[in-house]
Amino acid sequence: MKTVHSEDHRLHFPQGELYGGELVTPFERPSRVEHVLNRLRDRGFPAPVAPDALDMGPVRRIHAPDFLEFLETGWSEWEAAGFKGEMIAACFPARRMHTGRPPVNIDGKLAYYALANETAITGGTWGAAQAACAVAQSAQRLVAGGERAAFALCRPPGHHATADMFGGYCFLNNAAVAAEMFRLDGAKRVAILDVDFHHGNGTQDIFYNRGDVLFVSLHGAPEHAFPYFLGYADETGAGEGEGANLNYPMPPGTAYDRWSEALDHGIGKIRNFAPDALVISLGVDAYKDDPISFFKLTSPDFMDCGRRIAALGLPTLFCMEGGYAIAEIGVNAVNVLEGFEGA
């Protein structure tokens, strides 16, 4: 399996994240990628290749133009306003406020486009986000060109990014852009399977009214886990997308026996949907020692997860998402890939 990777991920490294009332080093940090790269090398995977230049065409089909403009120009506006620190939202357009009127002031504009304030923007964030999306695009082209599977080692991740909001460490929705590219390449139907511990609220939001993209997510129950306000089982799609959105929320302490039952059920739904391609939002934060999650999967469980995904027999693109037990992220992510390849 070929891997696509860009060193430009290093451009994004905020020094602060608000967690538990403290400003801490972000859980989503560059060293995550290094552990995955080291494990890929140690397990004999081909050396990663650099991505082609980003094609903004598919990105614009997924994300709103004003949001993309904000991501591109926000840092310069922030500096021009005289702010010295990183861009962290200080307020939000809450219930019963005028949420359809984006402010001109950059402090208000930042709040308008943010869905959470754990995610800071720096001068390098836009470049890194573009590089991550280019990684997903190039890996998609490998699969569309005939490869059985490819691994997009994306950083920053993407599945929390909606059409017009960033948060959860995500800015551009890499998996959604890749799914749209499969459709543009002629796929009649595409499935996205999100195995990250956190619900892929952005991906759900983007495709909720569409019946050509099936979204399946296994995640921590939203009453207990970020992003909190989306990811319930009764969210099944709307309009043409009715029935094309499947959520499997699970409670604290969920181990692999229960998690794999949900996986098998979701795989069955994907098989019935009969997609032409499969995109995996590959988060490995369901791991038992992840610092911001509460599932209990072990490293061997991720190998078995890969085997079960492979049983679908579909052209498959893996897009890296979360996983914050940094010492184990390489083993867990590559275990999924090896399980898939071994099957």
Q: Please list the residues that pair with 79 across neighbouring strands.
A: none
What phi, psi does 213 have (nearest 5°)?
-125, 115
Which pair of structure tokens corresponds to residue 254?
Answer: 């969920």
Q: Please list the residues that pair with 278 across neighbouring strands.
A: 191, 316
Other Cβ atoms closer than 10 A to 16: 15
Residue 172 C-alpha from the chain's centroid: 9
Nearest residue to 2 (alpha-carbon basis) of 321, 318, 306: 318
Sequential DSSP letters for 133-164? HHHHHHHHHHHHTT-SEEEE--SS--TT--SS
Residues designated as active site: 160
Which pair of structure tokens corresponds to residue 233?
Answer: 């089982």
Contact at 8 Å (CB) between 171 and 183?
Answer: no
Burial 165-201 (b: 16+ CB within 10 A, else e): bbbbbbbbbbbbbbbbbbbeeebebbbbbbbbbbbbb
Under DSSP, the state recorded for 243 is T
Alpha helix (H) residue ranges in the chain: 31-42, 56-62, 65-80, 106-113, 125-144, 174-184, 201-207, 256-273, 299-310, 326-342
